[in-house]
Structure 1
Amino acid sequence: MKKSSFARPELTWLRAFTFTVFGTSVLVASYFPLYYAQLGFTNSQIGLLYALGPMISLFANLLWSLTSDRYRTIKKILILLLIGQIIMTVVLSMSSTFSVIMISITIFYFFFYPVFPLTDTIAISTAKQYDKSFIMIRIFGSLGYATFAIVIGYVLTSIGSEWTLAVSMVITVAALIFSFFIKDRVSTVAKVDFSGIWSILKQKELLWFFGCVFCLALGLRMNDAFLTISLHDLGATQDLIGWAMLASAMTEVPIFLFLSIYGEKFKELPLLVFASLMFTVRFLLMGMTTSPYGIIGVQMMHGISFGVFYVTAIRMLTRLIPDDYRATGLALFTIMWSSASGLLSGTFGGMLFEYSGRTNFYLVAMAFSALACLGFASRYLYRKPTIQRQDIDLHS
């Protein structure tokens, strides 16, 4: 009881910090592209600016994680990263040419992307100390994303998209203030064992898994990069775009909770086939709809596509990879799911969207998802893997 009472203020500040930090991700992922469009950039240029983020995250996450380990602090690194974001947002607000913004946003991403894995790290450490569920802390990130999505939409509708960077600074300053009240933790994340990469890549099962993940991620990252542009082209206002972000963010919350409790009752491969099929249907409908309200409806499929896939993929990955190489395997998964796919989808997707149109853009995204679905289905139907069951705690 005493331990629980000590935990309450610390957990409250951490939840508030997590809630606010994910509000900044709404701006970068959803409203920054609209800001670039307002500056007159082409879809190809916007796609390139989007692709810079995953490229920078490849080494920025590792560098700042190593720095956190070296100096045995997470809180101070988070404060430094948030200050860096604020400074670079000021620089971006004073820039209007593509070349200057490309350099500035590259430096901004260097401070932006590492915040999220470090936030998860400090949340995991805190949850373990007080015997709490990590999900019940992390879920405040999803709630923050959903809340800021709708609030920012209405704010920018009222004051104009030219104030996007000013709104970003306000939210980042709020996150910085909260960061002073969270308790510091020593980074406990296992080091990536580069010597184990070859051992992992020799496993055909994992190569197949990463291939399917990469195909699925390409479609999702294409949608992430150009969802707001699609809505804008169809005449959606900023507040309506906020509702589209809210629709996707809120649907993943119940799915995460359900699968964290009951997910072990279902086999991984059928769930992955189902999720990939839902992605396929989702992108087909995205290409067919000609109404921003239709897109909001389609975004409601986010939970049964992304939510089901992500929880199940992490669960399967932890069972396929030996404990000694798990950190390495998770790093490779992140590269496939986020970094490499984001880089390719931003550059290739931008040109495709600009020269082939929105419908063909989403048909290509659908094709990638269908290919992943066939890959998971073929493994399940014809080459069922033998996976040794291990006790996996999805709450930590």
Structure 2
Amino acid sequence: MNRKTTSSPDIGWLRAFTFTIYGTSVLVSSYFPLFYAQLGFSTSQIGLLYALGPMISLVSNLLWSIASDRYQTIKKVLLILLVGQIALTFILSASTSFSIIMAVITVFYFFFYPVFPLSDTIVISTAKQHGIHFISIRLFGSFGYAFFALLIGYVLTQVGSSNTMWVSIAIAGLALGFILFVKDQPTSVAKMDLSGIWAILRQKELLWFFGCVFCLAIGMRMNEAFISISLKELGASENLIGWAMLASSLSEIPVFIYLSFHGEKFKELPLLLLASLLFAVRFLLMGVTESAYGILAIQAMHGVTFGIFYVTAIRMLTRLIPDEFRATGMALYTIVWSSLAGLLSGTFGGVMFEQLGRHPFYLTAMGAALVAFIGFASRYFQKGPGANSPSKFEHKA
């Protein structure tokens, strides 16, 4: 690896941006629900507010990607998105009514969700330009998530959950400052070929894969939306919630590193089977534990569940989809993994958590993970234990 390229100032600023932007992810996924709870919202209302994000992302990700492609800039679009986030967060800080927050958060999500696929795009483009592995930059997102999870927990313990939005403004402002120094990249790596959607959806192998991913994502998004509420229910402080987020983010780092360099030694389907089964075990433990510290320990399983799944799923998609349809396939994957699963888990999960409680909630998440396990297992035995690469993608004009 070229030492000169890896020490480029451009890569340094991009790593700083990646590090910081995941701080906003910590806030939205883990601390925004506490802010809503502090305002007196019910868990079903919180679930609905959470579900709005994935619903909006179905449209916003596509629209901002098209804008990025049309004007051949990622950096300027990211600047607009961050400024929009800061403005909407300021309005949220002064809002207390559920109807007003619902309206404002809808617009906020329009600026929030596209930041991550676009930041991944600029990371992939920059890494390719400098001849390095994109994980060497993306890992700083995991480091940032861990750092801000702990820092935000301590800060909110001191100043209270009512100041969550001001903390969000500060972190988004920091990310905005870093992106100013990042070199813009053309969008050729992530252009979305809409004509390829039909070609992709005709492939049974991909439809099976997306179906399994959807089932697994339901359980993970349910946990993501309500883990902070579960911890609060068990008497945890914002500080302990930060430690739980820290445990999950730190645990994925060694798994990312190992599988990025040695993952090709292992076949994909067995890894996906392992990840699905461990997800089911993780959700079972989350449902039966009665201790906030127990949840803290269980969160350390995040690395061997999400870490294994994430790297292996991306690797499998690169085998399933040729270069000319890869961005389209990745966009569909994001819709399945994040948008559709988040929409269902937020609306359905919020009502379930409120009406039935935490135990049935996590048992349902476990059931979804087991359905994914069965789906991956059926494909594994159908193809044979020796199979690794999926069937070849065929496109007919």
Structure 1 residues 296, 33: closer, same or farther in 2, change over 3 A? same
Distance 2:115 2:281 in 1: 33
Distance 1:353 1:256 in 2: 32
* CA distances 1:307-365 after superposition (whole Å, capped 9, x unpaired): 10111111112212233322222222111111100000000000000000000000000
Distance 2:39 2:144 in 1: 28
Please give the TM-score of this superposition, normalised by the length of structure 1: 0.95
Q: Percent identity?
A: 65
User: Structure 1 segments of 4 or more deviating over 4 A?
Assistant: none
* Equivalent residues, number: 390
Post-superposition offset of 1:383:
3.8
Counterpart in the other structure of 1:188: 188
Root-mean-square deviation (CA, aligned residues, Å) is 1.8
Q: What amino acid is aligned across from residue 32 of structure 2 in structure 1?
A: F
> Within the alignment, does 1:10 sit opposite 2:5 as a pair?
no
Distance 1:80 1:328 in 2: 24
Counterpart in the other structure of 1:316: 316
Counterpart in the other structure of 1:302: 302
Post-superposition offset of 1:198:
2.6
Distance 1:383 1:144 in 2: 40
Alignment of 1:228-377 (within 5 A): 228-377=228-377
Cα pair 1:16 1:178 within 8 Å, conserved: yes
Distance 2:72 2:197 in 1: 26
Counterpart in the other structure of 1:54: 54
Counterpart of 1:77 in 2: which secondary structure? helix
Distance 2:383 2:302 in 1: 29
Distance 1:21 1:350 in 2: 27
> Within the alignment, does 1:117 sit opposite 2:139 as a pair?
no
> Within the alignment, does 1:198 sit opposite 2:198 as a pair?
yes
Post-superposition offset of 1:201:
2.3
Q: What amino acid is aligned across from residue 20 of structure 2 in structure 1?
A: T
Q: What amino acid is aligned across from residue 159 of structure 2 in structure 1?
A: I
Alignment of 1:144-183 (within 5 A): 144-183=144-183
1:387 to 374, 386, 389: 389
Post-superposition offset of 1:5:
6.7
Cα pair 1:3 1:130 within 8 Å, conserved: no
Structure 1 unaligned blocks of 5 or more:
391-396
> Within the alignment, does 1:22 sit opposite 2:7 as a pair?
no
* CA distances 1:282-301 after superposition (whole Å, capped 9, x unpaired): 00000000000000111010
Distance 1:389 1:352 in 2: 39
Structure 1 residues 180, 267: closer, same or farther in 2, change over 3 A? same
Post-superposition offset of 1:386:
7.0
Structure 1 stretch 21-30 or stretch 60-69: which is displaced more? 60-69
Counterpart in the other structure of 1:227: 227
Post-superposition offset of 1:34:
0.3
Distance 1:325 1:128 in 2: 18
Q: What amino acid is aligned across from residue 4 of structure 1 in structure 2?
A: K
